[in-house]
Amino acid sequence: MQKEPITVYGYNKLTHEIERLKIHERPQVLIDLEAARELGDLKENSEYHAAKDKRDFIDSRLEELGKILAHAQIVDPSTIIHDSVSFGSTVVLEDIDSQIEVKYTIVGGVEANPDRGLISFNSPFARQILGKEEGDEVSVRTPGGKKEYEIISIEYEDIKFDDAK
């Protein structure tokens, strides 16, 4: 499988989540599971089933995070020349029809948050602007239909991630 770029921030965020799940949440859910078992009849024991579901969720999430990190390639976008749109670029585009400007930063898939202007390098929109330069006009397909943009600026900005979920 191909490596997928991720920022140092994104990598650290995922490793901290793994650590939290392994060191805190999973051991606690095993304690809760054992305590629920002692309540008796497992068939109608809601505490047991809730703890078992939580354990299964944690195990599934740990497996998913392990796969993500196994295929992650840490990239420091501040070391990349941003004379064309690439991973870590912050791009300002102007809608040619409405003249409204939008600003996006190209990040790894697990870091994407379109509501905050962080789009995955693998998203259809990003794939259509990767490699383009300032002044280029680009026609992109969006959920709202086809749009024409002019690339106003491309630069590296420190990426501001929101830790809230």
Question: What is the tens place of the pLDDT at every residue in 41-98?
Answer: 777 788 888 999 999 999 999 999 999 999 999 999 999 999 999 999 999 999 999 9
Whether 158 contacts 77, CB under 8 Å: no
Instruction: Identify which of 153, 9, 39 has the alpha carbon closest to the alpha carbon of residue 91.
Output: 153
* Whether residue 165 has pLDDT greater than 50: no
77-156 matches 4-74 in CATH topology = no
Would the pLDDT of 15 be above 60? yes
- How confident is the model at residue 162, as a pLDDT? 63
Q: pLDDT tens, 114-161?
A: 899 999 999 999 999 999 999 999 998 888 889 999 999 999 998 776
Distance of CA 125 to the CA centre of its chain: 15
CATH number for the domain formed by residue range(s) 77-156: 3.10.50.30
CA of residue 68 relative to chain centroid, distance: 11
Nearest CA to 67 among 6, 112, 126, 115?
Answer: 6
**What would be the CATH architecture of the domain defined by 4-74?**
Orthogonal Bundle (1.10)
Parallel/antiparallel/unpaired status of strands 101-107 and 118-120 = parallel
Identify which of 85, 68, 65, 66 has the alpha carbon closest to the alpha carbon of residue 77.
85
pLDDT (mean) for 109-113: 89
Domain ranges of the chain: 4-74, 77-156
Q: Give yes or no for residue 164 having a pLDDT over 50.
A: no
